[in-house]
């Protein structure tokens, strides 16, 4: 499965557009992780615990997006976009794209 942020692929032809696909991953926040992150903000530096959570969430949301596109018969997803939203109680990562059948 080919995933790309571009709308056009050089050297590949879109045989059929199958529709928009979306996926979402939600993680609850963790009191200990939040406390350690706030300490890191006070003393400065990167908050690796949240970086790991976001990295894992982005990987999972792309895997889910791919699975949903496969169910439509796609072998590619064009225009992939990932968005992250954080609140006091959760981290939400969403991905969207256009499922396509490539030649």
pLDDT digits (tens, 9 = 90+) for 31-76: 555 555 555 555 566 666 677 888 899 999 999 999 999 999 999 9
Total domains present in the chain: 1
Decide if 10 contacts 85 (C-beta within 8 A). Answer: no
Mean pLDDT of the chain: 86
Q: How far apart are CA 5 and CA 48, in angstroms?
A: 26
pLDDT of residue 91: 86
- pTM value is 0.80
Decide if 91 contacts 84 (C-beta within 8 A). Answer: yes
Q: Is residue 5 part of a domain?
A: no
Q: Is residue 39 part of a domain?
A: yes
Q: Is residue 13 part of a domain?
A: no
Q: Is residue 42 part of a domain?
A: yes
pLDDT of residue 77: 97
Q: Is residue 69 part of a domain?
A: yes
Q: Is residue 49 part of a domain?
A: yes
Q: Is residue 14 part of a domain?
A: no
**Which CA distances in Å does 95 have to 30, 54, 81, 88?**
23, 13, 5, 21
In the predicted model, is pLDDT for residue 21 greater than 80?
Answer: yes
Range of the domain at 29: 22-74+81-98
Long-range contacts of 45-53 (CB under 8 A, 24+ apart): 53/27, 53/91
């Amino acid at each position: 499965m080919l995933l790309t942020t571009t709308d056009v692929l050089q050297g590949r032809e879109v045989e059929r557009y199958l529709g928009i696909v979306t996926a979402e991953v939600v993680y609850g926040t963790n009191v200990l992780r939040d406390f350690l992150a706030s300490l890191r903000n006070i003393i400065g530096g990167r908050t690796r615990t949240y970086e790991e959570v976001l990295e894992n969430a982005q990987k999972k949301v792309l895997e889910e997006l791919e699975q949903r596109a496969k169910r439509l018969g796609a072998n590619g997803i064009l225009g992939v976009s990932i968005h992250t939203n954080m609140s006091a109680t959760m981290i939400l990562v969403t991905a969207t794209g256009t499922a396509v059948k490539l030649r």
